[in-house]
Structure 1
């Protein structure tokens, strides 16, 4: 069985750069850039725990499982 993979979308229009998302991320998928702006550092590390999405007070993060089509 293949490892699940995820995408993390950050809506910078809603984001207030509070830092909660990258401080709670257990795998350090998220990190901070200039002035505390959250960035996706390494999407391959994401385990889909949704901690960043659930704790974001601005509802600015969306974590989605990538769907892999099996044509076999």
Structure 2
């Protein structure tokens, strides 16, 4: 089952991945990284289809899809 994995320290909370997700399962979380940005999280990993749209849209290569 695919699931998105985020490198939280690199995330700048731009939300490009949130907008790109066709399943609308990504959101800004309540956890902050060392730079003070909210880290994006997946609210429903079971719904992830592994399309990699989030990873492709991320300008900082924060997201990997693990299968």
TM band (smaller chain):
0.7 to 0.9
| TM-score, normalised via structure 1 length | 0.75
Q: Moved runs in structure 1, 4+ residues, more than 4 A?
A: none
| Greater strand share, structure number | 2
Query: Structure 1 stretches of 5 or more lacking a match?
Result: 66-72
Query: Structure 2 stretches of 5 or more lacking a match?
Result: 31-36
Q: Give the count of matched residue pairs.
A: 61
The answer to whether the 8 A contact 1:11-1:61 is kept is: yes
Query: Greater CA radius of gyration, 1 or 2?
Result: 1
| TM-score, normalised via structure 2 length | 0.79
Q: In angstroms, what is the RMSD of aligned CA positions?
A: 1.4
